[in-house]
Amino acid sequence: MSIAIITGASGGIGSEFARQLSKLGLIDEFWFVARSENKMQALAEELGVKAKIIGADLTSEEGINKVREALETEKPEVKFLINASGFGNFGAFDEISEDEVVKMIDLNVKALVLLTHMTIPYMELGGRIIELGSGSCFTPLPYFNIYSSSKVFVLHYTKSLNHELKKYGVRATCFCPGWVETEFLGKSVANGNTHPKAMKPLLSCEKVVKKCIKASVKGKAMCVTNWYTKLQHTLFKLVPDCILTKLWLGMLVGERKSEKYKEEK
Ligand X SMILES: NC(=O)c1ccc[n+]([C@@H]2O[C@H](COP(=O)([O-])OP(=O)(O)OC[C@H]3O[C@@H](n4cnc5c(N)ncnc54)[C@H](OP(=O)(O)O)[C@@H]3O)[C@@H](O)[C@H]2O)c1
Applying CB under 6 A, the residues found at the interface with ligand X are 7-8, 10-14, 34-36, 57-59, 84-88, 107, 132, 134, 177, 179-180, 182-184, 187
**Least distance to ligand X, CB of residue 185, Å:** 6
Nearer to ligand X, 152 or 258 (CB): 152
**Least distance to ligand X, CB of residue 221, Å:** 17
**DSSP codes joined into one string, 74-104:** H--EEEEEEE-------S-TTTS-HHHHHHH
How far is residue 237's CA from residue 56's CA, in Å, rounded to a whole number?
Answer: 38
Instruction: Give the DSSP H or E segment for 128.
Output: strand 123-132
**Least distance to ligand X, CB of residue 177, Å:** 5
Nearer to ligand X, 76 or 177 (CB): 177
**Least distance to ligand X, CB of residue 252, Å:** 13
Q: Find, among 70, 177, 75, the residue nearest to 131 by Cα.
A: 177
Nearer to ligand X, 35 or 124 (CB): 35
Beta strand 29-34 pairing with 123-132: unpaired
Nearer to ligand X, 99 or 263 (CB): 99
Residue 86 near residue 7, CB atoms below 8 Å = no
